[in-house]
Chains A and B, each alone.
Chain A
Amino acid sequence: MTLLWIPLLSLLGSIISSTTGKLTRNQSTGLTLLMPVIALLMTISLAPAVFSGEVIRETISWIPLLGINIAFRLDGLALLFVFMILGIGILVIFYARYYLSSNDSMPKLYAYLMLFMTAMLGIVMSNNIIQLWFFWELTSISSFLLISYWWHKPDARKGAIMALTVTGGGGLALLAGLLLLGNIVGSYDLDVILASKEIIQGHAWYEITLILVLLGAFTKSAQFPFHFWLPHAMAAPTPVSAYLHSATMVKAGIFLLARFYPALAGTDIWFILVSLTGLSTLLFGAYVALFKHDLKGLLAYSTISHLGLITLLFGLDTKLAAVAAIFHIINHAIFKASLFMATGIIDHETGTRDMRKLNGMWRFMPYTATLAMVAAAAMAGVPLLNGFLSKEMFFAETLHQQLLGSMSWLIPVLATIAGALAVAYSARFIHDVFFNGDPIDLPKQPSEPPRYMRVPIEILVALCLVVGIFPNFIVDDVLKAASFAVLGGYVPEFEVALWHGFNLPLLMSAIAVIGGLLLYTQRRYLFQFQASLPSLNAKKTFDESIYRITKWCQRKISDSENGSLQRYLMLMFVFVLLFAGWPLFEMNQLGGQKQLTPIDVHNAMGAALLMVGTISTVIWYRARVVSLLMLSVVGLMVSVVFTRFSAPDLALTQLTVEVVTIILLMLALFFLPQHSPKESSSVRVVRDIAISAGLGIVVASICYALITRPLESISAFFLANAKTGGGGTNVVNVILVDFRGFDTLGEICVLGIAALGIYKLLVNLPLVIPASDSEGRPWAKERYPILLASISQSLLPLALMVSFYIFLRGHNLPGGGFIAGLVTAVAFILQYIAHGSSWIVARLTINYRKIIASGIAIALFTGVGSWFFGRPFMTTWFEYFDIPFIGEIELASALVFDVGVYITVVGATLMILASLGQLANEPKEEVNT
């Protein structure tokens, strides 16, 4: 279970830190650090096994029927990332304690950071690609929260939206890609996918799958041309930037490349797409970084450039390139995190990040300056530092490829130019900030930061040095293990060393350093040239395109959804006609083999009444009361039909539903005009008649086709098992409360939600009660006739008795909770009609919302109850008891479930009625339902 605990602990940490609002800053930090530290120790304890080549897996089956499991795995690559995520995460949390001002909410930042950490851990450890995608999206969401941490700043909000849009869009592409991948392989299991290279690459969908997955990776890791969100994400607090843009968020895209390297890489299209994207990002980022005056802007573009470098390495056609890529992932995370933190200190102590103002910081903070300079030198690739080693490997690998055929020599040349640019912007970072004269109007008098704020940087810079000087000492194991995972079990012989002798890569490094310094000293001309270029404002372009897309969508939506219910119905029916009607034409013969039953007088009369009722409803549709009465004829006839064809449960339900519906409609009609005006033009009437006639023909034909064919259904199973499995002879009821109890639970929830919705719509609705009826007569003075009132009151106990009887017998004879609930509701409705709402409200102080809630709760807990007996959710228990004087009776847990159904139905129906009735009587009074 250790593996599962690693992301779980960090999730727990997120919850813990969100509750530390009342504690001091130190306590809050300490508590937050606790969980990741434990997780890190657990990871360290697992490390030796992974180094020895083992892949640790853990699976919890979730929906085994669909093959969906919660699966985690830890191989070398995942281990490397877990180390980085937890290690740098711990340093960032520690650093943020000193960075945040007392106005900022520390628990909020910590909770978001830990949530983000959970998501990242989930990505790197998932063994199921859908699960991986879930965590992928979770990083998008939690990074949105982190970037918009200072939500009162428009920059932060816009940057967060931009990041979410780009990475979220990429996430959708990734989902599509992963689904295709799962389809090709036939499994969403990562182990299986990684082992199916031949199947995937031989498949016709390979190209499209690859492009979709790469889109996801490139948007996340800010590859050109999707890089523009990253500089805008710099509006986040610096600890967040240090975390997101060094070890985590953007590395998730890189991780994806590495993860699927064994399955997707190796083809020409992979090499072309990945290497060219990486190369252009590398050059573009390095070039733009040079011109940024904002320190974080410089680091942002340098991050883009380094991500391009790693991507390019994954796109090079050699095994060693992948090793170099992994090595650079480690190095970049270390020096970039420390640089961001140093920038945060400078910003914190001086109040600005503008390099035109920041000069000569060496005098004010020599210690921080030294640390930042070492880290910047690592970024530039200066010997004795970690950046130098991976850059050497990178240069060496660019020499060993044949990507562009005879033009392949371009790649090392461009790589050297990018290296020179990196040296130039690193030099600018060092020289402009720490030397280069005196500071110009700083908002604050700079000084060294608090002692402990530097600790995380010291640790990281020490790592830069140790890795740079003794590479084999620290990273060898983890690098080998990660390469083992990426290259699918084969690791080429390589040696990371400081000195390889005089060779071409060393020459390239030397050219880069000298060229970079030259570039920096001559930067004035470059800046002039850059100023003459037309400037491209990414934010403006992005905003405009988003605005245009939104406008376009709005127009399309208002075109199709203009608020006319008639139109929606028309469209819906036309589509039903098309999709249900079309297949009918492909049938050879409408009638099937089965004989029709002969028509007798009763059936014919029933059918005739049904038709008369239906047609009358349509004819008198403008006289609404008449139309409603005709509709009730239809409803009653339907329930008679149910009785005739032995469906007593349905008949009872239909009858009670009909009664309630008609009464509610009557109440609603009270507020509406008694006659609908003539609104439709003749053409429209013809169109509507045509559509409805067509629909009638289609439905009738389908019915005819169905009833004349033998129908195999699941009914036989229910009939056979109702008594033995559910303990009841009323199959309908047993289906409702037992076989399909879960459906019923959902349905009563829907009923409750519908009732709440109606309540919410009607409460405080300013409705004008008509002063007279449609013909101008005033309302009767005696509103509640005494005769009706007294008789209906005396009927209440009788009606309740009937409903109780129907409820109790439900399991074995027609009846049950639903019908009984409706009968009870009808009995109460009668009281409302006879006495008026205010009379009832004064006597029946019941909160219907609580009734609904308790009904659903009873049903739910009955279902949960079976867990305590070690059975699946909603297993019915029943037993027969012999009770003196009454005889043998059956007690079933389904009965309790049915009580829940009953209560919900009563509560929901009465709430709807009471809300409507209250309007009719005392519209100004507070509705007490």
Chain B
Amino acid sequence: MTEWIISILLLIGGSFVLVGSIGLVKMPDFFMRLHGPTKATTLGMASLLTAAMVFFSTTQAGVSVKEILISLFLLLTAPISGYMMIKAAIHHKLESIERTKGIDNIEDDV
């Protein structure tokens, strides 16, 4: 039973990470590319960590909570790194394609 749960969680996490990575490669401009690694991959990582938590809690004595802490760190830091990268991109006035939305709303270098 636990094996099933772990497997499903791993698969979910794996596919999220994969989608994120494909996005990183395939998206046409920087602003779009950033979506993949910041959102999809972070979610995927959370799922993978849950799998790890289940695995260690069932195979070893006691409940493993380290993974929750790691997830917390990830969920806190991923948005920040995304945010910092976007700020840098705006500062550098990177090219974007027309379909990218919201560029017009950005004030110059705030």
Residues of A that sit less than 8 Å from B by CB: 777, 780-782, 785, 787-788, 791-792, 794-795, 798, 802
Contact = CB atoms under 8 A, between A and B. Distances in A.
B87 A798 contact: no
Contacts of B61: none
Nearest to A830: B77
B95 interface: no
B109 A780 contact: yes
A223 B80 CA distance: 81
22 contacts: A777-B92, A780-B87, A780-B91, A780-B109, A781-B110, A782-B87, A782-B109, A785-B83, A787-B80, A787-B83, A788-B83, A788-B84, A791-B76, A791-B77, A794-B76, A795-B73, A795-B76, A795-B77, A798-B69, A798-B72, A798-B73, A802-B69
A623 to B, nearest CB: 16
Contacts of A780: 87, 91, 109
Contacts of B92: 777
Contacts of B91: 777, 780
Interface centre among B80, B87, B92, B109 (most CB of A within 10 A): B80
Contact of B87 (A777, A785, A791, A795): A785
B17 to A, nearest CB: 16
Nearest to A789: B80
Given A780-B91, A791-B77, 6 more contacts: A781-B109, A787-B80, A788-B83, A795-B76, A798-B69, A802-B69
Interface in B58-80: 69, 72-73, 76-77, 80
Contacts of A794: 76
B65 to A, nearest CB: 12
B80 A788 contact: yes
Contacts of B80: 787-788, 791-792
A780 B110 CA distance: 8
Contacts of A791: 76-77, 80
A645 B69 CA distance: 26
A794 B84 CA distance: 17
B107 to A, nearest CB: 11
Contacts of B87: 780, 782, 785
A791 B109 CA distance: 21
Contacts of A777: 91-92
Contacts of A792: 80
A527 B94 CA distance: 98
A711 B40 CA distance: 47
A795 B80 CA distance: 12
Interface in B91-110: 91-92, 109-110
Nearest to A775: B92
Contacts of A787: 80, 83
Contacts of A802: 69
Nearest to A780: B91
What secondary structure prevails in chain B residues at the interface with A?
A: helix
A797 to B, nearest CB: 12
A785 B76 contact: no
Contacts of B77: 791, 795
B76 A782 contact: no
Interface residues of B, number: 13
A919 to B, nearest CB: 22
A791 B84 CA distance: 12
Contacts of A782: 87, 109-110
Contacts of A798: 69, 72-73
A581 B77 CA distance: 48
A794 B80 CA distance: 13
Contacts of B109: 780-782
A787 B110 CA distance: 13
A781 B84 CA distance: 14
Contacts of A795: 73, 76-77
Contacts of A788: 80, 83-84
A252 B84 CA distance: 76
5 A-B pairs with least C-beta separation: A780-B91, A791-B80, A787-B83, A788-B80, A781-B109
A798 B87 CA distance: 26
A802 B72 CA distance: 13
A859 B69 CA distance: 32
A777 B94 CA distance: 13
A643 to B, nearest CB: 15
B76 to A, nearest CB: 6
A781 B69 CA distance: 34
A160 to B, nearest CB: 65
A216 B51 CA distance: 79
A798 B72 CA distance: 10
A792 B84 CA distance: 13
A388 to B, nearest CB: 97
Nearest to A782: B110
A785 B84 contact: yes
A794 B76 CA distance: 10
Contacts of B84: 785, 788
B73 to A, nearest CB: 7
A788 B79 CA distance: 10
Nearest to B108: A781
B28 to A, nearest CB: 23
Nearest to A787: B83
A457 to B, nearest CB: 87
A641 B91 CA distance: 37
A632 to B, nearest CB: 15
- Tell me which of B77, B91, B92 has the highest count of chain A C-beta atoms within 10 A of its own C-beta: B91
Nearest to A785: B87
Nearest to B90: A780
A781 B90 CA distance: 12
B54 to A, nearest CB: 22
A777 B88 CA distance: 12
A778 to B, nearest CB: 9
A787 B109 CA distance: 15
A614 B103 CA distance: 38
A794 B92 CA distance: 29
B83 to A, nearest CB: 6
Contacts of B83: 785, 787-788
A792 B81 CA distance: 11
A495 to B, nearest CB: 96
A794 B109 CA distance: 26
B24 to A, nearest CB: 16
B66 to A, nearest CB: 9
A625 to B, nearest CB: 12
A788 B77 CA distance: 9
A777 B84 CA distance: 18
A609 to B, nearest CB: 15
B74 to A, nearest CB: 12
A793 B63 CA distance: 29
Contacts of A781: 109-110
Nearest to B91: A780
Contacts of B73: 795, 798
B86 to A, nearest CB: 10
B50 to A, nearest CB: 20
A815 to B, nearest CB: 13
A191 B87 CA distance: 81
A798 B68 CA distance: 13
A785 B91 CA distance: 13
A777 to B, nearest CB: 7
Nearest to B81: A788
B95 to A, nearest CB: 15
Contacts of B110: 781-782
A431 B73 CA distance: 100
B93 to A, nearest CB: 8
A788 to B, nearest CB: 6
A780 B84 CA distance: 12
A102 B16 CA distance: 91
A788 B83 CA distance: 8
A795 B83 CA distance: 17
Interface in B7-57: none
A787 B82 CA distance: 11
B84 to A, nearest CB: 6
A792 B76 CA distance: 9
Nearest to A795: B76
